[in-house]
Chain A
């Protein structure tokens, strides 16, 4: 279906060869996963399939790519729309119109498809993706999962043979991600659709993949069966790391497989003693905190305490009130009733410099914090704001990302580097509490590992508290001491990470699913349990 023959790619403004001499074939009905660190050319590879690269981006393409027998050299991307559907990283940015139905029809209108055919296909897609009840809704009012389904629908409505997705679940909570992935799975099996998908969170997709393309970063790439690739790849889901750490002969890709291989370990592993850390003084305290927007109750009598030295995860589905709680804590929202304070200062009194020095906040889009013209400029601004020694923020940044170029424009940084810059700026004010809203969106494993060690360091060495709103259960398992679970603005569970994550199957990390009923969340937990 897709055929790459000796493909090399260079972008016009750089001398770096993104891909070099790449050849492979993807058959009809295959589901292929593309993995690689940030910036290695995953998106480029995906966009080569329908000719967006180089037709849309410019560049030099050597070799030939054909899809369904059509060479991408000869036709523009739009002329392949009936063969290849593509769903971008951030679906919200790819919507042209504002109503679900019209968005689905946009591509067909452009291709001059007859109105009655359009009606029929739109209806089919609405049914297939369970969007029928949303047909007249404004897209901006939909949840992330619904938006992702609309984006997939507007690609599928052209009846393509190939569907290309760039990180389709990165913005979704685990349940919504599961919905989207199972739809893809069904499309592959029922309609024999060929699917090419790039995803950082391998644990979510690995079970569905027939083959993997691993892009190394030096221009080379390998395509092979998942078992083969994951035997060696440094990018791997937690269960593969588990298999490697345990020295199993085979890597299993599904929880079921690995469970079979590890029966003995589950039986023989020792109980690991719970770490009972000394709780520090109270850093965050809320008492019956409520928040209403108009008619809607966003938060309802939230009472909790977070101590210094603690790393706490705030979990719950999209719209459960996580962001509302975070912004209320730092005094951006006016609370309707109850009280909240950080470090003894009432949230509403946090203003200006006091806020900056009390609490550091990384919003969902770290780039919102940035408005300078260069990395250097941002760091200098932070130095001035904090009246700290010139260069200290940049020095901090250098320790996180040694390779960063001070002249780069903040917008041209990779997701991970941008997060690092925002973190450096926020930490440079030496806040007592650090709050992060969805920090791991779009981060590869490497950047995530860096973030984990940085936050651990911040909380444990400096004895400060960290509060993270996240969907990423693997991150929570690795990093957090405690989980607060929100649903419809209320705290429904609050306790040690171990207890909370194990009590809900949807939110259990992969290793825990493998090791159930033993209470081990991470690879290192298991290793400690089997250590002599």
Chain B
């Protein structure tokens, strides 16, 4: 699976997002969440970014719960089959005259869940795209026109794991000086100094190795778009066309 082009899953998820949104159907939303889950579970590499999807699902679930609760508590009433009734609790008038509670109908509840599901589907599709694509690879297909920003991002993502090491090293040094509960400041300052002097060394190395000399840049091992990529994108495109045809 690692041979897929890094943009493939992004295009795929954008197309599916289009399908879910245009269809406006909770069923399709649910199916796409399930589909994304299977894809990530089957194909995502064992890497930090692969956690993104599960994180998105958590956020999605959180949003769904919030939306449902908020819908129940302060939703605009929708007439229909009554499920239960909450006591009405008026809030002070300066809070836009909001009224808490009231009659909760089945329609009211379903409306909240329906909208929520679509949002969750969109979020988890984004999450799936992130999980299925190595950010390093993605950076390698960033167009050379944003080279400078691309290099800065590469530096940032390469430096992050080192920072974690530096933090534990500095913490240890604080302990060694007899400081059992090192203050935030006494770790942050050496870390900052460390990183700043590191960045100057890095800049010298970049300058010496030809950074910024040529207006054009080439790519080592350019990543090419292959048949399988087209198949994945085409499948998503078919789904989008289908929903546009059926639900409109």
Q: Interface on A for B, CB 8 Å cutoff?
A: 47, 50, 52, 55-56, 76-79, 81, 84-86, 88, 90, 93-99, 101-102, 105-115, 118-119, 122, 140, 154-155, 158, 327, 330, 332, 351-357, 361, 363, 365, 367-371, 385, 411, 425-426, 429
A105/B207 in contact, CB under 8 A: no
Query: Complex: how many Å from CA A354 to CA B175?
Result: 11
Pairwise interchain contact A90-B173, C-beta atoms closer than 8 A: no
Tell me the bound Cα distance from A368 to B220 in angstroms. Answer: 37
Contact between A115 and B222, CB atoms less than 8 A apart: yes
| Closest A residue, CB atoms, query B161 | A140
B189 within 8 A of A: yes
**Cβ of A79 and Cβ of B209 under 8 Å apart?**
no
Residue contact B158 to A97, C-beta cutoff 8 Å: yes
Q: What is the CB-to-nearest-CB distance from B78 to chain A, in angstroms, rounded to a whole number?
A: 53
| Interface contact B178-A78, CB-CB below 8 Å | no
Given contacts A81-B213, A115-B222, contact A363 B201 (CB under 8 A): no
* CB-defined contacts of A411 to chain B, threshold 8 Å: 193, 197
A368→B208 contact, CB < 8 A: no
> For residue A355, which residue of chain B has the nearest CB?
B178
Which residues in chain B, 199-221, are within 8 Å of chain A measured between CB atoms? 201-214, 216-221
Apart from A76-B207, A90-B201, A95-B158: 15 A-B pairs, beta carbons within 8 A: A56-B203, A77-B207, A88-B205, A93-B202, A95-B202, A97-B154, A115-B220, A115-B222, A140-B161, A154-B209, A327-B172, A332-B172, A357-B178, A369-B177, A426-B177
A216 to chain B, nearest CB (A): 25
Using a CB–CB cutoff of 8 Å, the interface residues on chain B facing chain A are 136, 151, 154-155, 157-158, 161-162, 165, 169-170, 172-173, 175-180, 185-186, 189-190, 193-194, 197-198, 201-214, 216-222
Main SS of the interface on chain A?
A: helix
Option from B173, B185, B210 in Cβ contact (under 8 Å) with A368? B173
* Residues of B contacting A94 in the complex (Cβ-Cβ under 8 angstroms): 201-202, 204-205
Given the known A-B contacts A77-B208, A115-B219, are A332 and B176 also in contact in the complex, defined by CB atoms under 8 Å? yes
Interface contact A98-B157, CB-CB below 8 Å: yes
Would B177 and A425 count as touching, CB distance under 8 A? yes
Q: Quick check: A368 and B190 within 8 Å, CB to CB?
A: yes
List A contacts of B193 (CB < 8 A): 367, 411
**Residues B208 and A78 in contact, CB atoms below 8 Å apart:** yes
Taking a contact as CB atoms under 8 Å apart, the answer to whether A56 and B207 are in contact is yes
29 A-B contact pairs sorted by A residue (CB < 8 Å): A47-B204, A50-B208, A52-B204, A55-B207, A77-B208, A78-B208, A81-B208, A84-B208, A94-B205, A96-B155, A96-B158, A96-B205, A97-B154, A101-B221, A107-B210, A109-B219, A111-B213, A115-B218, A115-B219, A115-B220, A115-B221, A118-B218, A119-B220, A140-B161, A330-B176, A355-B175, A365-B169, A368-B190, A369-B176
Main secondary structure of the interface of B (DSSP, over half): helix
Docked-complex contact B213 and A76, CB < 8 angstroms: yes
Question: For B211, what are the chain A residues with a Cβ–Cβ distance below 8 Å?
Answer: 78, 110
Give chain A residues whose Cβ lies under 8 Å from the Cβ of B186.
371
The CA-CA distance from A176 to B101 in the complex, in Å, is 73
Q: Do the beta carbons of A119 and B221 come within 8 Å of each other?
A: yes
Whether B180 lies near A112 (C-beta < 8 A) is no
- How far is the CB of A422 from the nearest CB of chain B, in Å? 9
- Contact, CB under 8 Å: B190 / A109: no
Contact residues in A for B180 (Cβ distance below 8 Å): 351-352
Q: Which residues of A contact B165 (CB under 8 A)?
A: 140
Q: Given A52-B204, A368-B173, do A108 and B218 touch, yes or no (CB 8 Å)? A: yes
Residues of A within 8 A of B212 (CB): 78, 110
Please indicate the chain A residues that have their CB under 8 angstroms from the CB of B198 in the complex.
93
**B209 in complex: contacting residue of A81, A90, A367, A370, CB < 8 Å:** A81
Please measure, in the bound complex, the distance between the C-alpha atom of A111 and the C-alpha atom of B220, giving whole angstroms.
12
The interface residues of chain A lying within 8 Å CB-to-CB of B203 are 56
Are A356 and B177 in contact (CB-based, < 8 A)? yes
- Complex-state Cα separation, A94 to B186, whole angstroms: 26
* Among B136, B178, B197, B206: residue with most chain A CB under 10 A: B178
Report the bound CA distance from A369 to B173 in whole Å.
Answer: 5
A154 to B205, CA, bound (A): 10
Cβ contact within 8 Å between A368 and B178 = no
Within the complex, the shortest CB–CB distance from A276 to chain B, in Å, comes to: 34
Distance of A221 Cα from B220 Cα, bound (Å): 43
Supposing A78-B212, A107-B210, A154-B209 touch, asked if A102 and B220 sit within 8 A by C-beta, the answer is: yes
Q: A351-B180, A356-B177 are in contact. Are A81 and B210 (CB under 8 A)?
A: yes
Q: Given A78-B207, A95-B158, A332-B176, is A110 in contact with B220 using a C-beta cutoff of 8 Å?
A: no
**How many Å lie between the Cα of A76 and that of B135 in the bound state?**
32
CB neighbours of B185 from chain A (8 A): 371
| Chain B residues positioned under 8 Å from A90 (CB to CB) | 201
